[in-house]
Amino acid sequence: MRVAVIDLGSQWTHRIWRTLRDLDCESEILPPDVSFSKVADADGLVLSGGAVRMGKGEDSKVSKCHALLDEFKKPVFGVCAGQQFIALHYGGSVAPAKMPEYGNTELTIIEPDDLFAGLPRKFTVWASHNDEVTKAPGFELLASSPDCKWHAFKHAKKPLYGTLFHPEVAHSQHGEEIYANFVKVCRR
């Protein structure tokens, strides 16, 4: 099992890599301009978070990932800026958050899904964002917080997932289980 991690500049990218390693996945951290040939044999991709402000159109670093999303047909999991990038790539909208979140927030599962299999309906997660998805056509809402509607989603037809919160951060409850659930999706 191999899951490639595309580093969009997050301070926590290494924690994604470590979590995947702890789940017995072969993993490596790669730059956003990586060639498709370097990830073609991966069973899944994770797009990390990053400091880029997607809601202000600052996507020069991550814009190199458009081709990866077009070519990679296996599961993809976007975290924070990675989630926002996925939404934008598929025709959604991202804007400055009405209420930016930094720190613990309560996540409520709206729609049960494989990504949250075996988890309680409400739990605490770590959020660190100034922007948020405002529209995501073709995506199903999976989870929200009191201040953010689109905290987690999945594509209705493709194996694409995204969370605005950071499951890799120790403050997020059930973070390793969320990554384990994503790995299970990749194994199918």
| Backbone region of residue 131 per phi and psi (left: phi > 0; alpha: psi in -120 to 50; beta: other values) | beta
Catalytic residue, chosen from 129, 166, 174, 186, is 166
User: Which strands sit side by side in the sheet containing 139-145, from one edge to the other?
Assistant: 26-30, 2-6, 44-47, 76-79, 160-163, 148-155, 139-145, 93-109, 122-135
Whether 168 is a known active-site residue: answer yes
Which residues are within 8 A (CB) of 9 and not within 5 positions of it... i.e. 6 or more apart?
48, 49, 50, 51, 52, 61, 81
- Catalytic, 26? Answer no
The residue from 80, 101, 129, 148 that is catalytic is: 80
| 80 in active site | yes
Helix (H) or strand (E) holding 88: helix 81-89
**3 state SS of 58:** coil
CA triple 109-112-113, angle to 5 deg: 115
- Find the catalytic residue in 151, 168, 174, 186: 168
Structure tokens belonging to residue 139:
């995506």
Residues taking part in catalysis: 80, 166, 168
